[in-house]
Amino acid sequence: MSGGVEGLMMVHVLFGMLCIVTAVWVFVDVLNVSEANLARIRMMSIAVAVFMWLAYLIGGYWYVTYYAADKAVILKGPWPLAHSFFMEMKEHVVLLLVLLTTFLPIAAASNLAANKQARTLVLCVVGLIVLIGMAMDGSGAIIGVGAKVGLMPK
């Protein structure tokens, strides 16, 4: 792998982490919602979606273009589950994350300061984003280790 390809993967992880951290920000802001922070909640909700789409598109490009070599290494190594479960699961569950983050700015457009039910909806959506995001991050780490142990001398 060239340094540029590794850099691409790091940027994918960076945007994924930014998505999670920003979602946590939105969660806390919604818990303390008032007219004063409504605009910030909406802006940060859009940021969550933008970060997720960047992570998805960059990771997707890397997956389609470069992953085949890693997949072969993982499947021949001692951690085949890193591909056969974690990668297979990650590449499809991530679509739930794309949908949830795309939906978040729409849900956050309601007057969250005045409507408790709208707040609950946004909190549930953000909670799912954070939980699934952390599962994706952990799966990515396991896939990385799966490739690493596959390259180690037997």
Partner 1 sequence: MAANGIGKYTVSFGLSLAVMSVLNGLLVIVKETHEDSVLALMKRLTPHHWITHGIFVIVAFVALGWLFSRANGGQGIQIPVPRLIALLVGAVVVGGALIAGFYLIEG
2 binds partner 1 (CB under 8 A): no
Identify residues 9-68 at the interface with partner 1 (CB under 8 A). 60, 63-64
Binding mask 111-130 for partner 1 (x = CB under 8 A): ---xx-xx-xx--xx--x--
84 binds partner 1 (CB under 8 A): yes
Q: Given candidates 96, 134, 141, 151, which one binds partner 1 under the rule CB under 8 A?
A: 96
110 binds partner 1 (CB under 8 A): yes
Residue 8 CA, chain-centre distance (Å), reads 15
The residue among 3 and 81 lying less far from partner 1, judged by its C-beta, is 81
Q: Count interface residues toward partner 1 (CB under 8 A).
A: 32
- Give the DSSP letter string of the chain: --HHHHHHHHHHHHHHHHHHHHHHHHHHHHHT--GGGHHHHHHHHHHHHHHHHHHHHHHHHHHHHHHHHHHHHHHHSS-THIIIIIIHHHHHHHHHHHHHHHHHHHHTTS-TTT-HHHHHHHHHHHHHHHHHHHHHHHHHHHHHHHHHHHHS--
78 binds partner 1 (CB under 8 A): no
Q: How far is the CB of 36 from partner 1 (least distance, A)?
A: 21
Q: How far is the CB of 31 from partner 1 (least distance, A)?
A: 16
Which residues touch 71 (CB under 8 Å, ≥6 apart)? 83, 87
Q: Which residues bind partner 1 (CB under 8 A)?
A: 60, 63-64, 81, 84-85, 88-89, 91-93, 95-96, 98-100, 102-103, 106-107, 109-110, 114-115, 117-118, 120-121, 124-125, 128, 132
